[in-house]
Amino acid sequence: MLIEYNKVNIYQADEMILEGVDFQVDADQFVYIIGKVGSGKSTLLKTLYCEVDIDKDDAETAKVLDRDLTTLKRKDVPALRRDMGIIFQDFQLLHDRNIYKNLEFVLHSTGWKDKKEIDDRIDNVLAAVGMEDKKFKCPHELSGGEQQRIAIARAIVNDPIMVIADEPTGNLDPETSWDIMEIFKEINAEGTTIVMATHDKEIVDAMGKRVIAIEDGHIVRDEASGVYGYEL
């Protein structure tokens, strides 16, 4: 089990955002977290990679990748994050360097040293997202869809166990969004778990994946093959 949350209360700035959160995620799953704007989708994701803390008194169980989040020390958070890839709506690429250097930075920071191994890994992940010809471009030279492809490449460059994506198609046009979702489907088919917050009704309804719905501070629905279920 990659995620195990039982009776978890989630706070941000002393305000309870989510109450009594119960859900589990197993290996190889593709899970959508849905809900209206402000429902707490992003906050829930942030707890998974310790951007938002969970206190020991606020959870019966809060485990991610075999780490107990209620007792995890700050010095151990980078090791947790190395086992996951994180993708943001606004890409968060480093704009002072080209795409190769963006990916090289991630590999260097996680202990890769051999230049040929680094070059081969970068080539492989760029090919996986169809961006091998953009290796020496800078982020500002790319479209939004291309930048999101690079953000996905960055997230999978360390071969993570799980990818967490927060509204990855939120700033993209519909056609580009579907292209990005095809990449996620391929990543998942190769064995990487995907946990994605989204408000893209069309994609959720078409994909037939697991859907966890948040409403009024609670998980109100958890369906193995669900639909969006909200009017936009």
Domains of the chain, residue spans? 94-159
CA distance 231 to 207: 18
Q: Which two tokens stand for residue 207?
A: 């994909």
Q: Residue 135, exposed/middle/buried by CB under 10 A (0-12, 13-18, 19+)?
A: middle
CA distance 92 to 204: 24
- For the chain, the straight-line distance linking the first and the last C-alpha, in angstroms and rounded, comes to 33
Percentage of residues in the chain having pLDDT higher than 70:
99
231 — pLDDT class (breaks 50, 70, 90): low
8 Å CB contact between 82 and 110: yes
State how beta strands 15-25 and 3-12 pair.
Answer: antiparallel
Span 185-230, pLDDT tens digits? 999 999 999 999 999 999 999 999 999 999 999 999 999 999 998 7
Q: Model-level pTM?
A: 0.94
Residues 77-101 have a mean pLDDT of 94
Long-range contacts of 110-118 (CB under 8 A, 24+ apart): 110/82, 110/158
Span 128-185, pLDDT tens digits? 999 999 999 999 999 999 999 999 999 999 999 999 999 999 889 999 999 999 999 9
90 — pLDDT class (breaks 50, 70, 90): confident
CA distance 34 to 94: 29
Residues 71-85 have a mean pLDDT of 95
Q: What is the mean pLDDT of the chain?
A: 95
CA distance 124 to 61: 37
Q: How many C-beta atoms lie closer than 10 Å to residue 77's C-beta?
A: 16
Position 173 scores a pLDDT of 92
